[in-house]
Amino acid sequence: MPEHAARAEPLASPIHAILLAFPVALYPFALATDITYLNTAVVQWTNFSQWLIAVADFFTGLLLAWALISFFFGRARMARGRSTLYLIVVAAMFVTGVINAFQHAKDGWASVGTAGLVMSIVCTVLALVAAFLVHSTAVVRENRA
């Protein structure tokens, strides 16, 4: 390696990235099942949405806990302003996801409707924003021999 080689480090730990992968995958899939339910009125699609949102909420809760621990006790890998914004986005995603789960727990057409669809859209956007905040930039550290 050259004397002053630079290497890129990810902004989040591998466990953090794994936990983030679940909401990033499951909230958009729940949105897709909501849209399918609104177009077909087949009740099974709302059941799929309920399970997808419940699992996404579980992993978002773990992600929020991990983000809080990393924010207060972890090495400062992300810039403080960026990590604060990330923490706010994850907390908003968790709260919106829980409210969305309660909305989807209603019976039949009332479970999705406008409110359920909007909350699914918001959860999806927040998950993608959180992923962008973590994975858009890497910290470059210079190695000095």
Identify whether 1 is part of a domain. no
Q: Is the pLDDT of residue 77 over 90?
A: no
Which of residues 28 and 109 earns the better pLDDT score?
28
Tens of pLDDT, residues 80-95: 677 889 999 999 999 9
Identify whether 44 is part of a domain. yes
* Alpha-helix residue ranges (DSSP H) falling in the chain: 14-40, 44-73, 80-104, 113-135
Tokens in use for 107? 């019976």
Amino acid at site 44: Q
As a whole number of angstroms, the distance between CA 141 and CA 128 comes to 26
Contact status, residue 31 vs residue 48, Cβ threshold 8 Å: no
| Total tally of structural domains belonging to the chain | 1
Q: Which domain holds residue 74?
A: 6-142
Mean pLDDT of the chain: 84
Tokens in use for 60? 């978002």
What is the pLDDT confidence band of residue 109, given thresholds at 50, 70 and 90? low
What pLDDT, on a 0 to 100 scale, did the predictor assign at position 65?
A: 95
Q: Is the pLDDT of residue 23 over 60?
A: yes
Residue that is written with structure tokens 């419940």 in the block: 54
Nearest CA to 133 out of 77, 74, 94 is that of: 77
Tokens in use for 112? 């999705």
Identify whether 94 is part of a domain. yes
Please tell me what DSSP assigns to residue 98. H
Q: What is the pTM of this model?
A: 0.83
Tens of pLDDT, residues 32-64: 999 999 899 888 998 999 999 999 999 999 999
